[in-house]
Amino acid sequence: MRNPVIFVTEIVAAVVTIFFIRDLLAHNGTAVFSGQIAAWLWFTVLFATFAEAVAEGRGRAQADSLKRTRSDLSARRLTSDGKEESIAATMLKVGDIVIVDAGELIPGDGEVMEGVASVNESAITGESAPVIRESGGDRSAVTGGTQVLSDQLKIRITTPPGASFVDRMIALIEGAERQKTPNEIALSILLSGLTLVFLIVVVTVWGLAGYSGTLVSITVLAALLVTLIPTTIGGLLSAIGIAGMDRLVRFNVIATSGRAVEAAGDVDTLLLDKTGTITFGNRMAADFIPVPGVTAEQVAEAALLASLSDETPEGRSIAALATGEFGIASPKVTVDAVVPFSAQTRLSGVDTNGKSFRKGAIDAILKFANATDGKAPAEFHQAVDRIARTGGTPLGVAEGNRLLGVIHLKDVVKPGIKERFAALRAMGIRTVMVTGDNPVTAAAIASEAGVDDFLAEATPEDKLDYIRREQKGGRLIAMCGDGTNDAPALAQADVGVAMQTGTQAAREAANMVDLDSSPTKLIEIVEIGKQLLMTRGSLTTFSIANDVAKYFAIIPALFVTTYPALGTLNIMALSSPQSAILSAVIFNALIIIALIPLALKGVAYRPAAAASLLRRNLLVYGLGGLLLPFAGIKVIDIAVSALHLV
């Protein structure tokens, strides 16, 4: 009952089989004909089922590979008294703390609490190069089944057994959690309606034939019904959806719902977080620029103090630059209070010995130092502008109400990203970079990356407001991000794509995860979404259009003896009424097999206007679906006659 069209075909095939057995037992001369019709009807059902099986089978190899990553895993869990105990990974609960050393597999999804290590994620991503996972920042998430290659990690488990990223990947690949999308449901309803209409038509034909004195067998009526109902698209509908999800998997993208894949095909605007998405995200401190009356060493020392409790890559790079190039010794001070970085304050630092050291976004530092009314030195603003114009990120440094200088952070745009954004533009998708940087820095990075627009000094609330405004205007929004602060926007967007390198919160909020962590992967996602929609539409058009030839084959065959004038409609010059009916049934079965490769591969998409794509597909699949059956049925008729099958 999952597929009403194929279910009706099964019922009809069973009925014809019963009549074949009756004819066979009665030694009726029509047994050969009814037997062939029954056989080809069962072939129609078999081919439709085969299409779905082929689509599902393509993901089994990857699913089996993933299953091996989670088998027989053990974990070293920390108890409440700080001791280690060895337990099975399946017994881990959310909140458990585990220790993983070099060479060991990570027992479950979690967040790094302490440590920095290289991790081999090839079992998940297919990429052999190790990645760095560390506490703090947006690279703290780890995936169960991946291997630690160096050092040691202390990990807090964030998912219960059976709900890990690998488990969800396996379920999605195997189709265990695949649900019909709204588009697929709507099309199923349409196909069910058409099936009901043609059922009424066939019953009406039976009545009209009886009234005119024409004897029409149940076998012939069954053949008429099956050839007229949309068995082609009915048999391929599930295969198209499964193949779409499989194509995403082959591009290293995991989608949690088919709805998101379809929505991707109609995306208007793409929002991208800058750090870690457009850029590599590991901004490194390059220089300390003092204001007049302050030395670079004093700025370095203050920046080092403000970074004592900063475990982010930026904080560590500041400490490394201060202690390395500038030769500042690691201070041995008593920290009275630690101020962690937040999206609201946009600064961090410490209080020690009655002094407050802060570093952070320029406007936040100016506010902290009470220098918002033009009190800041001109050299300070000049340094900020100079850094921003070169695409760097300026951070202010202050000691209480005293501005000390600026830290120059360099961020690198990922190579080839400008060309990828140009391809998105050709597809009609507008790209918007979202960043917490000041407008000047944002403009420099936006120009280098080639995005259409940018949103500077953006808080998580700003991202949400922007998405909601766009959605109210009727636009479909895609969001790419990797950080915890991106999670609300990823959840609100129509298509949320999280980077595999991102945090656990981001991956859980999104409805897609890019295992390659490529922000322009949306090009492939959009193409697959459009392919999915176009393939369904094109094959539906083809399925309905190819019914026309069957009218010219079967209708004259039904009534030509009663109404000889109907022989004029036999434009294909088919050999006999029985040959015409059998040929139509055979073509109806074989065309499903012939279209399986197209259903799995998808209709080719090229960036073009919607009207142009519609004209092209109507020409190819509408006109093609109209003409091909005439040639196909004629060829089969010649073969049937030559083999004396009827």
d(CA 578, CA 570): 13
The rounded distance, in Å, linking the Cα atoms of 192 and 428 is 35
* 402: three-class secondary structure by DSSP: strand
Which of helix, strand or coil describes residue 88? strand
In a 3-state reduction of DSSP, which class is residue 495? strand
What DSSP designation does 478 have? E
The two beta strands, 269-273 and 430-434, are parallel
Q: Any idea which residue has 């140009």 for tokens? A: 422
Helix (H, G, I), strand (E, B) or coil at 476: coil
- Is 273 among the catalytic positions? yes
Question: Which of 96, 246, 273, 486 does the annotation list as catalytic?
Answer: 273
Measure the CA–CA gap between 341 and 485, rounded to whole angstroms. Answer: 12
User: What tokens appear for 518 in the block?
Assistant: 């490529």
514: left (phi over 0), alpha (psi -120 to 50) or beta: beta
342 CB-near residues (< 8 Å, 6+ apart): none
Dihedrals phi, psi of 563, to nearest 5 degrees: -120, 85
Q: How far is CA 20 from CA 9, 47, 219, in A?
A: 16, 21, 9
Tell me the C-alpha to C-alpha distance, in Å, between residue 210 and each of 23, 205, 206, 217, 223. 21, 8, 6, 11, 18
How big is the CA angle at 258 (ends 257 and 260), to the nearest 5 degrees? 75
Is 605 within 8 Å of 527 (Cβ atoms)?
Answer: yes
Q: Which residues contact 357 (CB under 8 A, 6 or more apart)?
A: 302, 305, 306, 349, 350, 351, 397, 398, 399
User: With helix as H, strand as E and coil as C, how does 330-380 read?
Assistant: CCCCCEEEEECCCCCCCEEEEEECCEEEEEECHHHHHHHCCCCCCCCCHHH
d(CA 641, CA 633): 12
Element (H, E) at 496: strand 495-499
DSSP 619: I
Among 397, 457, 130, 136, residue whose Cα is nearest residue 274 = 457
- Choose among 530, 524, 472: nearest CA to 497: 524
Structure token digits, residue 646: 């009827």
Residues designated as active site: 273
